[in-house]
C-alpha cells in the first residue's frame, strides 16, 4: 500500500512538473512570437531609409540643387527659352542657361542643314529669353537680299526690342519693310513666326499697305508687346 501511495505521489509530482514544463514552453513560444514581430519591423526598415532619402531630396530642393536623369543641376540658375527655326536639323523650342551664344544653341539644335546660309548668322551673339533664332537658306538670302537676310538672322540672335541690331562688323542692319517683305523675311523679326508672318501677308491683301509701322498692331496676333520688340527693326 505504501508503495502504491508513493507511486501515486510520484506520478502526481511528475504530472505537476510536466504541466510546469508545458507552461514554460508556451511562454517560450510567446517569446518567439514577439521575436517574429520584431523581424517584421526590421523588414519595414527600408521604408525608414526611403523616408530619409525623401527628406534628403527635400533638403536638396530647398537648397536649389537636385538631379535630373543622373545629372546634377542648379534649380536657381536662370534659364531662357529660345525658338530655333529655319535651316537647322532639329528646329524647336529650346531651354538654355542665360548667356548662351547663338553658336552653342545651333549646335544643340543639330547644326546647319545643307541649305543654310551659315554666313547670315552671328554665332557670337548672346541669346535672350523669348527670342526666335532663324537660320535663312542661301535661296532666302538671294531672294531677299544679302542685307535683309543677314540682318534678320543677326537680329534674332540679339536682344529683343533693343533697337536696330548691329552685325558682327558693326554696321547698322537694314530695316524690314513690312509692306514689301515676304513671309521668310518677316520671320527674321523677333517674335514673328510663320503664323504671324502669314497674318501680316493676309492683312496686306485685305487692307492694302500699312500707312505707318504702328498699323501692324492691327494684325491678328500682334499686340503692343510684339510691336515694342520690333518697332525699331521695321519700316514702311
Q: Are residues 88 and 38 in the same domain?
A: no
Q: Are residues 174 and 84 in the same domain?
A: yes
Q: Are residues 139 and 92 in the same domain?
A: yes
- Distances in Å between the Cα of 226 and the Cα atoms of 175, 222, 231 are 16, 6, 8
Cell numbers linked to 192: 514673328
Domain encompassing residue 183: 79-235
Q: Are residues 40 and 93 in the same domain?
A: no
CA separation for the pair 67, 94 (Å, rounded): 19
Q: What is the pTM of this model?
A: 0.37
74, 105, 123 — which closes off a domain? 74
The tally of domains found in the chain comes to 2
74, 98, 126 — which closes off a domain? 74
28, 43, 74 — which closes off a domain? 74
Q: Are 82 and 131 in contact (CB under 8 A)?
A: yes
Q: Are residues 162 and 204 in the same domain?
A: yes
- Distances in Å between the Cα of 144 and the Cα atoms of 62, 81, 216 are 52, 28, 20
Q: Are residues 14 and 84 in the same domain?
A: no
User: Per residue, what are the HEC states of 184-232?
Assistant: HHHCCCCCCCHHHHHHHHHHHHHHCCCCCHHHHHHCCCCCHHHHHHHHH
CA separation for the pair 26, 34 (Å, rounded): 12
- Tell me the pLDDT of the chain (236 aa) as tens digits: 555 556 566 666 666 666 665 555 444 434 443 333 333 333 444 444 444 445 445 554 444 443 334 344 456 679 888 899 999 999 999 999 998 999 999 999 999 999 998 888 888 888 888 888 889 888 877 776 544 433 344 444 333 333 333 333 333 457 899 998 888 989 989 889 888 899 999 899 889 899 999 999 998 888 888 898 899 999 99
Q: Are residues 96 and 143 in the same domain?
A: yes
Amino acid at each position: 500500500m505504501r508503495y502504491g501511495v508513493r507511486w501515486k505521489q510520484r506520478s502526481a509530482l511528475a504530472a505537476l512538473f510536466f504541466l510546469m514544463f508545458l507552461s514554460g514552453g508556451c511562454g517560450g513560444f510567446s517569446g518567439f512570437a514577439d521575436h517574429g514581430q520584431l523581424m517584421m519591423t526590421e523588414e519595414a526598415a527600408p521604408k525608414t531609409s526611403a523616408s530619409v532619402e525623401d527628406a534628403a531630396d527635400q533638403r536638396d530642393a530647398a537648397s536649389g540643387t537636385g538631379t535630373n536623369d543622373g545629372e546634377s543641376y542648379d534649380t536657381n540658375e536662370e534659364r531662357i527659352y529660345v525658338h530655333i527655326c529655319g535651316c537647322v536639323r532639329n528646329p524647336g523650342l529650346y531651354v538654355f542657361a542665360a548667356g548662351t551664344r547663338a553658336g552653342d544653341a545651333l549646335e544643340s539644335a543639330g547644326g546647319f542643314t545643307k541649305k543654310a546660309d551659315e554666313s547670315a548668322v552671328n554665332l557670337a551673339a548672346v541669346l535672350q529669353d523669348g527670342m526666335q533664332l532663324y537660320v535663312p537658306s542661301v535661296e532666302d538670302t538671294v531672294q531677299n537680299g544679302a542685307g535683309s537676310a543677314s540682318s534678320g538672322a543677326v537680329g534674332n540672335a540679339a536682344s529683343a526690342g533693343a533697337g536696330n541690331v548691329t552685325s558682327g562688323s558693326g554696321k547698322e542692319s537694314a530695316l524690314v519693310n513690312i509692306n514689301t517683305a515676304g513671309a521668310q523675311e518677316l520671320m527674321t523679326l523677333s517674335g514673328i513666326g510663320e503664323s504671324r508672318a502669314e497674318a501680316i501677308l493676309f492683312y496686306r491683301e485685305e487692307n492694302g499697305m500699312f500707312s505707318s509701322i504702328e498699323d501692324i498692331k492691327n494684325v491678328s496676333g500682334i499686340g503692343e508687346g510684339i510691336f515694342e520688340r520690333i518697332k525699331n527693326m521695321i519700316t514702311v
